[in-house]
Amino acid sequence: MREQHITSKPRGRRRAVFAAVIVSLMVSMALPLTGYLAHEVGLVQTAQAQEQKSDEEAVNPRAEYWRAVRGGVEGYSAVSGQETGVLIQNGGQNWRELRSGPIMFYGGSLIIAVILAILAKHIVAGKDKLESRTGRTITRWSMFERVMHWYVAISFIILSITGLSLIFGRSLLIPLMGKEGFAAWAQLAKPIHDYLALPFAAGLFLLLLTWIGKNGLKSYDFEWLKSLGRGHPKAGFFNAGEKVFYWLVFIGGVALTVSGFYLLFPNLETVRETMQFWHIVHAVSGLALIAVSLGHMYLGSIGTEGVFEGMVSGEVDEGFAKQHHSLWYEEVKGGSAASKSEAAPGTSSAAAT
């Protein structure tokens, strides 16, 4: 028993020593890893501190100050007048985003869509040709009407080119012309647009008033609209399509002129929200009128045979009048026949005398 007890004692010590060595090795191997752990914990704490700092900066006094400025809080100004105490008007940013966003996108898309529709119509259907020409002409436009029409048309084309340059110049013309080239063109386009605006408006409304009596809708106009002019349905001096164009120009012309008047004379209304509103009205009505006028220009030139020569000379062939404006043609022919029958007795009696 004693020998067994003596021999078991050193064996237990060896086991204890062995276990201690193993534990020491494991601890020694684990100790370096604590450096990585401490480093990671430090990064986390640093990131949290930075995030907390950024949160504090997000609500710092300077940020709150600019929120107050954009909110329209009035400050002190030595200048007298409306809105002089407002440092930054927040509506200006909303106006800029509306002008540079939806108005440019949808207005430009509308103009492109009209151009593509005109090209497709011309390629597929071609020109609306006259079925016959008689060689005899009827007076359709007076000298005054022709002069005013070309005056308004040329003015509108110039205003359209300069206006489109100012709206789309930054995104379209600067890449083509460069900043210096566009700046030179803009310095020329802006005064041309401004100085031509009032003479154009005067000519437009004079022409609209001249033709307003001939553009009332009649019952037969609805038949023309149902067929969209196909088959040449009955029409008076103006067909239903021309009447629709007239009223679109009338409404758009009023909006364009009134808004342009406020933009030309800003001292009449110095509240910036009002000026921004009129600028949006001016841009929208202008883009809409350009899109509508493109269709009118096509139909009045190469789209329909006989229209352009009538606006140049004032005379149209009887075949054109009969084909496109049958009711007006019958009215003119009926008036001519009546005048001849009234003149015949006078002539014969004068000859007998």
pLDDT in tens, 49-88: 555 555 555 556 666 766 666 665 566 666 666 666 666 6
Between the alpha carbon of residue 108 and those of residues 100, 112, 164, 279, 338, the distances in Å are: 11, 6, 9, 17, 53
CATH number of 90-339: 1.20.950.20
pLDDT tier, 348 (very low <50, low <70, confident <90, very high otherwise)? very low
Q: Letter for the amino acid at 2?
A: R
pLDDT tier, 39 (very low <50, low <70, confident <90, very high otherwise)? very low
Q: What is the mean pLDDT of residues 263-273?
A: 77
pLDDT in tens, 114-126: 999 999 999 999 9
Closest CA to 239 of 120, 142, 325, 343: 325
* Residues in CB range of 232: below 8 A, 6 or more apart: 323, 324, 326
| 245/181 Cα distance (integer angstroms) | 37
**The pair of three-digit structure tokens given for residue 199, joined into one six-digit string:** 């003479």
pLDDT in tens, 330-343: 999 887 655 555 54
Residue 96 is predicted with a pLDDT of 85
| 45/42 Cα distance (integer angstroms) | 5
Residue 91 is predicted with a pLDDT of 74
Between the alpha carbon of residue 256 and those of residues 153, 156, 180, 227, the distances in Å are: 15, 12, 30, 31
| 132/130 Cα distance (integer angstroms) | 5
Say which range, 80-84, 156-160, 212-216, has the weakest mean pLDDT: 80-84
* Residues in CB range of 134: below 8 A, 6 or more apart: 317, 318, 319
| 202/189 Cα distance (integer angstroms) | 20
Q: Where are the domains of the chain?
A: 90-339
Between the alpha carbon of residue 320 and those of residues 232, 304, 350, the distances in Å are: 11, 10, 37
Residue 346 is predicted with a pLDDT of 47
Residue 71 is predicted with a pLDDT of 64
| 69/89 Cα distance (integer angstroms) | 8
